[in-house]
């Protein structure tokens, strides 16, 4: 059974299920199997989504744009409200772009906090808008897609030959039962978001497999287009982190299992290269504004503790010849 809590994620189980192309779950007190969808399954579902969108439109449901126009006229959700979302989206885009220019750890941490706050604000505003919109063609087609995810994904056998529900059974299912099954599906599939698949490739047990990730046949013994989306992602992230580790061998051990921190580290390394001045024979250098933790983070020897400015600060802004000689000797 999959553990889907963030605290106790079992990455070995996630890896096993990705390789198998399915996950064993419990449904109606019986074993059931959740198929991991392929790109072709996704295309089929997108076609069905279009079908239900057109069906909803013929039945007279408003589109999202029509509902937004009504809300504007009633003053419930105005262009000013929509502008708040656009403002936050622009801010988020700018913040993410600006973060790529940073290399000091404290600044990166502060940028990450601001980015998370911006994402939270956007989510809150979108939730308010969705509640006001009511039922639309887009919402109806999305809800019906959930039905077909179940048909496509839920099986009675590990070989994925016998679907758990027929289309007729799904059509006659109560909304409460459907909601329960969709929650089960979402709960199980939450183990396979991009972040967790990235973390699988960073686990100690997975490291021997990185050497084989360049060849799809070595990984799964079948053509690329027959792989599940999760299997494709596993290959992509394996290659990406393999390349990172080969080009940045000094990544601190404490961040080697955190994808976001690895990305921040790589970006910081690239930006720091542009700002390193007066490299000495030991590889030490001076970076404006850097503290000891920044030098440690970047893997650079030497810090402001040995610099003239640090010594001046230590001495209250005044230095005698003895102090100056100590700095030069250091």
pLDDT score at 272: 74
Given 3-state DSSP classes, what are the helix, strand and coil percentages for the chain, each rounded to the nearest 5? 65, 5, 25
| Together in a domain, 186 and 235 | no
Residue 73 belongs to some domain of the structure? no
Query: In whole angstroms, what is the distance from residue 233 CA to residue 17 CA?
Result: 13
Number of domains in the chain: 4
pLDDT score at 4: 37
Residue 185: half-sphere exposure toward Cβ, Cα within 13 Å: 22
| Together in a domain, 186 and 222 | no
- List the beta bridge partners of residue 23: 34
| Together in a domain, 15 and 151 | yes
pLDDT score at 41: 86
Token look-up 């039945």 returns: 59
Which of 192, 215, 236 delimits the end of a domain? 192
Q: pTM score > 0.75 for this model?
A: no
| Together in a domain, 30 and 153 | yes
pLDDT score at 278: 43
Residues 108, 297: contact at Cβ < 8 Å? Answer: no
CA-CA-CA-CA dihedral for 107, 108, 109, 115, to nearest 10: 110
Domain boundaries, position 112: 78-134
| Together in a domain, 140 and 47 | yes
| Together in a domain, 25 and 157 | yes
Secondary structure string (H, E, C) spanning 114-169: HHHHHHHHHHHHHHHHHHHHCCCHHHHHHHHHHHHHHHHHEECCCCCCCECCCHHH
Instruction: Name residues of the chain where pLDDT drops below 70.
Output: 1-7, 274-330
| Together in a domain, 44 and 146 | yes
CA 205 to chain centre: 22
| Together in a domain, 180 and 92 | no
């Amino acid at each position: 059974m999959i553990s889907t809590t963030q605290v106790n994620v079992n990455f070995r189980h996630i890896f096993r299920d990705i390789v198998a192309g399915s996950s064993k779950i419990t449904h109606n007190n019986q074993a059931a199997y959740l198929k991991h969808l392929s790109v072709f399954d996704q295309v089929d579902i997108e076609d069905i989504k279009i079908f239900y969108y057109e069906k909803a439109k013929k039945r007279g449901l408003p589109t999202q744009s029509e509902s937004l126009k009504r809300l504007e006229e009633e003053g419930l959700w105005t262009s000013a409200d929509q502008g708040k979302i656009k403002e936050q989206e622009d801010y988020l885009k700018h913040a993410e772009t600006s973060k790529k220019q940073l290399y000091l750890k404290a600044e990166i941490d502060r940028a990450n906090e601001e980015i998370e706050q911006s994402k939270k604000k956007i989510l809150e505003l979108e939730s308010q808008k969705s509640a006001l919109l009511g039922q639309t063609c887009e919402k109806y087609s999305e809800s019906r897609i959930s039905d077909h995810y179940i048909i496509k994904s839920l099986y009675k056998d590990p070989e994925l030959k016998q679907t758990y529900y027929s289309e007729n059974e799904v059509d006659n299912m109560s909304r409460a039962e459907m909601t329960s099954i969709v929650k089960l599906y979402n709960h199980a599939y939450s183990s396979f978001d991009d972040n967790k698949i990235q973390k699988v490739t960073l686990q100690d047990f997975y490291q021997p497999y990185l050497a084989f990730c360049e060849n799809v046949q070595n990984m799964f013994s079948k053509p690329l287009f027959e792989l599940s989306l999760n299997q494709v992602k596993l290959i992509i992230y394996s290659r990406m982190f393999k390349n990172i580790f080969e080009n940045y061998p000094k990544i601190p051990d404490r961040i080697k299992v955190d994808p976001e921190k690895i990305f921040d580290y790589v970006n910081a390394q690239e930006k720091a290269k542009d700002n390193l001045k007066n490299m000495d024979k030991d590889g030490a250098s001076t970076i404006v504004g850097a503290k000891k933790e920044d030098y440690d983070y970047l893997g650079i020897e030497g810090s402001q503790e040995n610099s003239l400015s640090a010594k001046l600060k230590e001495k209250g802004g005044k230095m005698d010849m003895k102090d100056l000689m100590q700095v030069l000797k250091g």
